[in-house]
Each structure stands twice: as structure tokens, then as C-alpha cells.
Amino acid sequence: MSYNLLKGKRGLIFGALNEQSIAWRVAERAAEEGAEIVLSNSPVAVRMGAINTLSERINAPVIAADVTDVEDIERLVDGCLEHFGGGFDFVLHSVGMSPNIRKQIPYTALNYDYMSKTLDVSALSFHKILQVLHAKDALRDWASVVALTYLAAERAVVGYSDMAEAKAMLQSIARSFGAIYGRERHVRINTVSQSPTMTTAGSGIEGMQRMYDYADGVAPLGNASADDCANYIVTLFSDLTRKVTMQNLYHDGGFAMTAFSLESL
Ligand SMILES: NC(=O)c1ccc[n+]([C@@H]2O[C@H](COP(=O)([O-])OP(=O)(O)OC[C@H]3O[C@@H](n4cnc5c(N)ncnc54)[C@H](O)[C@@H]3O)[C@@H](O)[C@H]2O)c1
């Protein structure tokens, strides 16, 4: 059902790789709510091709950009400004990758070149994107920027490895940039801390199925799906949440606030 919450709004969505991706679901839901969208992903992900199906379905152009490369981000933001004929209203950062996790390197033996890559792709990229948006004055007043994060930023989750440090940095960037961009342009910046979700990135985490089942048992409302997440993020892009900024917002069925549940014991 559409409420036209994003009618007249225009946004940029990073990270739709395939139908399981959280960004894919957000893009579909935002389009249903009346938004005009530009999609972006890394050149290699764009070459894989699935994103073109989404692009056709929601009538959104795809502009490839490696989020670690400032020149790529500049080209992308220029492309959005040209496509929209001016500034835009929302941005989703739904990007994460750890070579240490991919190569199953234990946390006690991290490769630091890989860790730098983890931090660059998964956290610094958020600053790079915000810095380019700010320099080009690409966001309209009351625009909303959301990045996806996970509870391991604040609580130890064995198996999440150096992505925990990346998510802690990502959340900090949301606060630091939010303090400046809010005052200057009323731009709000938040992170959404999502339940374990079966996606390409999610499935790379060691013990993901057990983590997923455990969280589902502990959370009073059960795990939040990618579609639930899309619904929530649409509200954050809408004008109904204009005074929410610099927050880390848990979207996890209540998991983060539950010590234990009798059902899961
Ligand atoms: N799946 C989960 O359990 C879960 C839980 C909480 C938070 N998150 C976060 O949600 C976000 C989206 O992940 P997802 O679960 O939808 O998985 P996903 O694999 O579908 O999305 C990750 C995306 O990052 C993109 N990416 C990687 N390197 C890139 C680069 N250099 N430049 C541009 N894009 C690049 C990938 O192409 C992919 O589209 C991530 O930040 C992830 O950490 C996921």
C-alpha cells in the first residue's frame, strides 16, 4: 500500500546488489511511495547486471561508483544533480565489505591492509559521500541521510570481526557530520541498526544462520526483515521524521534492549 510519503522527493540509493539486498527493498519501497531515484553500486556489481532489473522496474538510472574513490563519488553526485535538475532529498548508504571476513581470517590475526579496506569501504565511504554532497551543496533543506549499521558496533559479537570497528566509526560519522549539516542545511543524518538479515553481505558472517535464529528467538517481535527495514527507512526519508537526527535507531524487533528471553533458553 502506498501513502505517497515520498511524493516529489528525489534520492540516491547505494548498495542494491540483488533482490535480497536491503537497498533493493528500500529502492522499491521508496519508488512505491512516489520518489524518483538514482541507483549506485560498485563498477563490478553493476557489471554483474542484476541492478539493471531493478533500474527498469522503478525507472531509475544506474551510475557506477566505487565508494572509496572520491572522484567516482564526485562524478556520481554531478550525475544525480544533472538527472534531477538540481538538489535531492535523501541518500541511503547500504554498503559494507570486509576482506578479513571474506577470507575467514580470525579476529586475533587480522590483516591490517585488509582492515584498512574494511574501514574505507564500510565507514570512511560515508564521510567521503557526505563531504562531496556538502561541497557541492547537493542536498535540499530537510534532506535525510541514512546508513545501515549493526549492534556489533556497541556490543561484542564474535564473528563480526573488523566490521564492528567499521560500524562504530560509521555511527560516529553520522553524529559528527549531522551536527554540522543539521545546523547549516537542516540535513538529518541517522544510522539504522538492523536485525541479522539473509543477504549476500549477511551470509558472509561466520555462524550467520545461528545468529539469525538466536536473535529471532530473543527479540520480542522477532527479527526485522529487509522489507520491514525498507518501511522504516521510508519513514526516515519522509517529512514525518524531520526532527530526528544524529541517532542510532534500532530496528531489530527489540533485540538490543532484551537481556534474555525464556523462549530462547
Ligand atoms: N545483512 C545483515 O544481517 C545486516 C545487518 C545489519 C546491517 N547490515 C548492513 O546493511 C548494509 C547492506 O548490506 P546487505 O545486507 O543488504 O548486503 P548486500 O551484500 O546486498 O549489500 C552490500 C553492498 O555493498 C556494495 N559494495 C561493496 N563494496 C563496495 C564499493 N567499494 N563501492 C560501492 N559499493 C560497494 C555491494 O556491491 C553490495 O551492493 C551493509 O552496510 C551491512 O553491513 C546488514
Rounded to whole angstroms, how far apart are CA atoms 201 and 171? Answer: 19
Would the pLDDT of 249 be above 90? yes
Count of structural domains, the chain: 1
Assigned domain for 121 exists: yes
More confident residue, 154 or 263: 154
The CATH number covering residue 48 comes to: 3.40.50.720
DSSP bridge partners of 194: 251
If you measure from the C-alpha of residue 154 to the centroid of ligand 1, how many angstroms do you get, rounded to a whole number?
19
Longest dimension (CA), the chain: 56
Would the pLDDT of 30 be above 80? yes
Assigned domain for 132 exists: yes
pLDDT, residue 205, reads 85
SS3 per residue for the chain: CCCCCCCCCEEEEECCCCCCCHHHHHHHHHHHCCCEEEEECCHHHHHHCHHHHHHHHHCCCECCCCCCCHHHHHHHHHHHHHHHCCCEEEEEECCCCCHHHHCCCCHHHCCHHHHHHHHHHHHHHHHHHHHHHHHCCCEEEEEEEEEEECHHHCCCCCCCCCHHHHHHHHHHHHHHHHHHHHHHHCCEEEEEEECCCCCHHHHCCCCHHHHHHHHHHHCCCCCCCHHHHHHHHHHHHCHHHCCCCCCEEEECCCHHHCCCCHHHC
Q: Using DSSP bridges, classify how beta strands 188-194 and 139-149 pair: parallel, antiparallel or unpaired.
A: parallel
Of 199, 214, 227, the residue with max ligand 1 atoms within 8 A of its CB, to mutate for a pocket test, comes to: 199
Give the percent of the chain with pLDDT over 70.
100
Assigned domain for 95 exists: yes
Would the pLDDT of 263 be above 80? no
Assigned domain for 72 exists: yes
Assigned domain for 1 exists: no
Quick check: CB of 68 below 6 Å from ligand 1? yes
Assigned domain for 152 exists: yes
pTM for this predicted structure? 0.98
Would the pLDDT of 260 be above 90? no
How much is the mean pLDDT over the chain? 97
pLDDT, residue 49, reads 85
Give the percent of the chain with pLDDT over 90.
94
Mean pLDDT of 206-220: 94
Cα–Cα nearest to 98, from 106, 88, 87, 89: 106
Mean pLDDT of 10-22: 98
pLDDT digits (tens, 9 = 90+) for 36-76: 999 999 999 999 989 999 999 999 999 999 999 999 999 99
Assigned domain for 201 exists: yes
Assigned domain for 191 exists: yes
Range of the domain at 109: 10-264
If you measure from the C-alpha of residue 15 to the centroid of ligand 1, how many angstroms do you get, rounded to a whole number?
6
Quick check: CB of 200 below 6 Å from ligand 1? yes
Mean pLDDT of 141-156: 98
